[in-house]
Amino acid sequence: MRHPVFARLYPRIAAAGEAAGAAEHRDELLAGVTGRVIEVGSGHGINFAHYPETVTEVVAIEPEPSLRARAEEAAREAPVPVTVIEGTAEQLPGEDEAFDVAVTSLVLCSVRDADAALREVRRVLRPGGELRFYEHIRAGQPGFVRYQKIVNVVWPLIAGGCQLVRATDVSISAAGFTVEKSRYFRFPAPGVPASPHVLGLARRAP
């Protein structure tokens, strides 16, 4: 899975987002995480520096070669052990019930099949395991959704397959998770088509 132009641009876009407040979002996303973690779609490893020392291992899955190479570099500087592996969200390279926590961070918008990805996340999580999610989503206001749909005609072509109109928050609940915390907000600015976000914690039912 190659997106060479997007792979070159995304680290710069992400760095600007970090400075604008995404770093605090990532801290919130990963606060209190413990045990063995699988991160789905790690990109260039921007989350790695935010993992607390209570994490024993992170297995980071990334299909895009250029981003994966940068993630391997970031893993060497991470405060916790990180192994970067080639793979896709729809076929995670992990055994059943092998992880305590799964992390998705601005990735379920761009996978080919978000429902299949969430089924895979559920498979590799132990019963009662956590899904930590930070995703941009379909807006709750019909007028903004119409705007998102118009922009979405070209958005995936320039944003690595990212889709603006996925109701990822709804999909998480439908995939067999109990959402325990969710915070909705606009970032980085209300008028940006990808600004509706959700950040939260869901738990795999037994």
Pairing of strands 99-105, 125-136: parallel
**Whole-angstrom Cα distance, residue 117 to residue 90?**
4
Phi, psi of 77, rounded to the nearest 5 degrees:
-105, 0
Identify whether the C-beta of residue 199 lies closer than 8 Å to the C-beta of residue 185: yes
List of residues 6+ apart from 191 with CB closer than 8 A: none
**pLDDT, tens only, 26-62:** 999 999 999 999 999 999 999 999 999 999 999 999 9
At 14 the pLDDT is: 82
> From CA 104, how far away is CA 66, in angstroms rounded?
19
Is 165:110 a contact under the CB 8 Å cutoff? no
50 phi, psi to nearest 5 deg: -95, -5
pTM tops 0.85: yes
Question: 143 vs 130, 164, 191, 193, CA distance in Å?
Answer: 33, 14, 12, 12
Q: Kindly state the average pLDDT of the residues 168-183.
A: 97
Q: Per-residue pLDDT for 74 more than 80?
A: yes
